[in-house]
Each structure stands twice: as structure tokens, then as C-alpha cells.
Amino acid sequence: MGNLARGSVVELISGPQVWMESEATRQLEQVAAWTGCERAVGLPDLHPGRGSPVGAAFQFRAVVHPSLIGSDAGCGAHLTVVRKASAHGANLVRRADQHYGEALAIGDRRRLFEVAWEEGPRGLLELPGLPEGLMALAALAPMDRGLKSGPPPLALTGGDSLGTIGGGNHFAELSQVGQVSPHPLTQQLGLERGHSAVLVHSGSRGLGAALHHEWGNKACEGPSIEVYLAVLAGAVRWARTNRLLLTYRGLLALGAARADRIVSDLDVVHNGVEAEGELYLHRKGAAPAEAGAPTLLLGSRGAPSYLLAGCGRTRSLCSSAHGAGRKMTRAEARAKLKDKYLRKSLARTRLGSEVLVDDPELLYEEHPDAYKPIAPIVESLVQSGVAEVVAELLPKVTVKR
DNA sequence: ATGTTC
């Protein structure tokens, strides 16, 4: 793709084995021409979004674009690995159904919202009467060093969806660690084949949508950058806390909500902005891939997910793919896959895992066939030196509700 | 993606 007239460098990091839509690369070049854009990197899961592509990282100078964040600020993935759980099969499905079905009762909801917004996951430790397993999880969360956000925008959000998964491709999954590689992270994170895990993909729900509405489509320059980034930091903390609460439910389902069962824990934001001086790194459906740091590549129900190690490549803006990437729009998936598959056959995936959904349309919209195959994505990331494979995560029960 | 909407 090379250099555009404005001087921004556009690069697609992918391989010939990866299916790529021309609309996706067109959108990549389009955003590369936005004010302040110096570099645009498309990752192998690149696919068209609303105006801007998903699966890309952008470097801007002195400009931040809230519209690139869109309506799910802080969206990301969380992985907690625990010692092998005793529940399997139908029992595990029943337990997942139970624990993701009932509301979390954690005292004062308003206080919970404030803590999530101002302090993030670790802030939960300030709440009185926190359940033991949740306290153990919160204690593992890193200290928040982000910008302070001021009062939480309660007026914007109305009800409180904290602790809920949401729609689309968001999910909570009870998995098993599959093949592990000899990478140093395997030992550092205590990964062993056969260990259990909770993998959560979710974001900032109605809060993110409200922020999107408020900040609209205007680019931030000058002092408004700091104001927006402070608000974004609050949304990211809220989203991280949301994933932690969802993880806790998964631990309850696994019967592993205790400090001595947890092996390791990490959270990866794939929709956000990182500031370094006057450079702003936008990740739009792109996972951080700093040298030696763990990152998550999300599968699509019928496919495994992967724990990867970043390689810190500046060519990829220290970013990796966040998932398989859509191949069909939701409408296309409904139209094409309804003829191909009976609804009943979709409760169990080709990997033998179970899917729990409230909205049966999601079985088609988020069917693995609606996504690119994940193996070529992993291959191309490794071949281009963006990330290395650490462990495979095999889904047992996927919850979407 | 969204207490979303055709």
C-alpha cells in the first residue's frame, strides 16, 4: 500500500492464506488519511466496520479520534486460569446456566458503579462484604495508573449493566487449556494442559454507547484531548471491572472461586488509546503485543482461542489481532447460515462445546462460519513476527446472554 | 458494539 500523499504509512500485516475483504483495506486507507494519522496498521483479522475498520492500530500525532473508539470503549478480553475443575459435561453446563443466569448481589449498586469508574477492579476491595472469590480476583488486578475521570456520568447511563455480558460477539467462556508451548510465559503464568479457565470478552455496555453519543464524531485536539482521555480511562476501568465480575461468575460455575484455585489472571483491552507524549496509539479491535507480554486472540465459539506472547514489533505498532475477524456481516450470516444449519444443531459446536444463548439469532450471527478461520490468523501473526503462541484455550461452555 | 431496531 505504501505512502499516501499526506505522508501516513499504511501497512497490512497478514499472509496470503488469510481471506481479506477489499472494503476492509479501503477503510484502512481512509482512516490513514484522517487528521494527524502517521501510521495505519491492518492486522490479519481486519474487517470492515462502521466507517472505520476493525482489527487495526493507528498512530496519530496531536489528535485523538473518539469516533474511532466508537461505542464500546474499553472492550477487551480477560483470562483467568485455575487448577483443573471437577465439574464437566452436563453438570458444567447446568452450573454455567445457573451462575450467569442470576444477578450478582454485591451491596450498593451505585457505590459499585462509582468504584468501577474511579478505581477499576482493585477498587472492589474497598467495598464491604465482598465475596471471598471476588476479593481474590480483585487483589490480582494491577494498580490503575490512568488519568482520573471526575464524577461518573450516572445521568448518562441510567440503569446499571455492570456485570453483564452484552450482545454481538461478547461472551463468557469456560475453557480448558489445550496444547502449551515451551515459551517462558507458559511457566510464568503456570499454564498446564488440562487446567481450566474462564475467558471473557465484553466491554463498557451502555456506558460506552453514552460516551460515544456525547463525544460524537468530532476529533479532539489541544486541551480537549486530556478531557476525553480522562473519560475514556474511566470507561476502560469500568469495562475491566465488568469483565472481572463476569469472570467471578465463571469461577463460581467452575467451583473455583477461591484464591488457592487461581493460577493466573490477565486483562487485555483491544479498543482504546495509549498516549506517549503527543503520540496517540489507537487500537481498534487490536490487542497490545508488547515484547514478552501476554495477549489474547479470541476464537469464535467453534474454534479455540489463544494466549499469545507479543514480540513488541514497532512495524505492527506493538499490536496483534484480537480475534478471527468477521467474514460475513450479521445480516449475511443470518441469511446464509439459516438454510445451512438447523437451530437445534447449533447448541453444540464442532469442538463439542455447548453454547448458552438467550437470543437464538446470535447462533447464526456469531456462528464460526461468519468468521475467518482462526488457524491462518495465528500462522500469519507468527510468520510476521508479531506474536508467538503460548497456549491454546479450548471452549467447553460458551455463554452469550 | 448499544437497556440497539427493520
Q: Tell me the CA–C1' distance in angstroms for A330 and B3.
A: 21
> Is pLDDT of A233 > 70?
yes
Q: Which pLDDT value is given to residue A149?
A: 85
Interaxial angle between packed helices A223-254 and A89-101, expressed in degrees from 0 to 180 and rounded to the nearest 10: 130
> Is pLDDT of A78 > 90?
yes
The one catalytic residue among A99, A201, A270, A322: A322
Give me the residues near strand B, CB below 7 A.
Answer: A 50, 70-72, 75, 157-159, 161, 166-170, 202-203, 205-206, 208-210, 212, 366
Question: Cell numbers at residue A372, please?
Answer: 475467518
State the nearest residue by CA to the C1' of B2: A209
End-to-end CA distance of chain A: 40
Percent of chain A with pLDDT over 70: 97
Question: Cell numbers at residue A27, please?
Answer: 477503510
Q: Tell me the CA–C1' distance in angstroms for A221 and B1.
A: 25
Rounded to whole angstroms, the Cα distance separating A170 from A356 reads: 12
Residue type, A267: D
Rounded to whole angstroms, the Cα distance separating A84 from A192 reads: 9
Arithmetic mean of pLDDT, A168-178: 96
Rounded to whole angstroms, the Cα distance separating A278 from A333 reads: 41
Question: For the segment A19-38, what is each residue's pLDDT rounded down to a tens digit?
Answer: 999 999 999 999 999 999 99
Arithmetic mean of pLDDT, A81-96: 91
> Is pLDDT of A288 > 70?
yes
Arithmetic mean of pLDDT, A130-148: 93
> How many other C-beta atoms lie within 10 A of the C-beta of residue A24?
21
- Of A192 and A161, the one with more pLDDT: A192
Cβ contacts of A94 within 8 Å, gap of 6 or more: none
pTM: 0.96
Q: Tell me the CA–C1' distance in angstroms for A167 and B4.
A: 10
State the nearest residue by CA to the C1' of B6: A331
Annotated catalytic, A322?
Answer: yes
> Is pLDDT of A85 > 90?
no
Arithmetic mean of pLDDT, A155-184: 87
Q: Are the beta carbons of A374 and A300 closer than 8 angstroms?
A: yes
> Is pLDDT of A157 > 90?
no
Question: For the segment A356-392, what is each residue's pLDDT rounded down to a tens digit?
Answer: 998 889 999 999 999 999 999 999 999 999 999 999 9
Arithmetic mean of pLDDT, A263-284: 98
Q: Of A181, A214, A195, whose CA–CA distance to A69 is shortest?
A: A214
Rounded to whole angstroms, the Cα distance separating A289 from A274 reads: 13
Q: Which pLDDT value is given to residue A84?
A: 85
In the block, residue with C-alpha cell 452436563: A90
Q: Which pLDDT value is given to residue A154?
A: 57
Q: Tell me the CA–C1' distance in angstroms for A210 and B1.
A: 12
Nucleotide nearest to A157 (CA to C1'): B3
Q: Which pLDDT value is given to residue A79?
A: 98
User: Residue A156: pLDDT band by 50, 70, 90 thresholds?
Assistant: low
Q: Tell me the CA–C1' distance in angstroms for A327 and B6.
A: 22
Arithmetic mean of pLDDT, A113-128: 93
Nucleotide nearest to A169 (CA to C1'): B1
Cα distances (angstroms) measured from residue A180 to each of A2, A183, A190, A310: 37, 8, 11, 16
Arithmetic mean of pLDDT, A138-160: 78
> Is pLDDT of A3 > 60?
no
Q: Which pLDDT value is given to residue A7?
A: 74
Nucleotide nearest to A208 (CA to C1'): B2
Question: For the segment A177-217, what is each residue's pLDDT rounded down to a tens digit?
Answer: 999 999 999 999 999 999 999 999 999 999 999 899 889 78
Q: Which pLDDT value is given to residue A110?
A: 83
User: What is the rounded average pLDDT for all residues in chain A?
Assistant: 93
Which nucleotides in chain B lie less than 7 Å from some protein C-beta? Answer: 1-4
- In order of their start, the domains of chain A are 9-400 (3.90.1860.10)
> Is pLDDT of A267 > 90?
yes
Rounded to whole angstroms, the Cα distance separating A138 from A227 reads: 27
Q: Tell me the CA–C1' distance in angstroms for A122 and B6.
A: 42
> Strand locations in A159-293, DSSP E?
171-180, 196-202, 220-221, 262-269, 271-276, 279-284, 286-288
Q: Which pLDDT value is given to residue A155?
A: 57
Which phi and psi (to 5°) does residue A204 adopt?
Answer: -100, 10
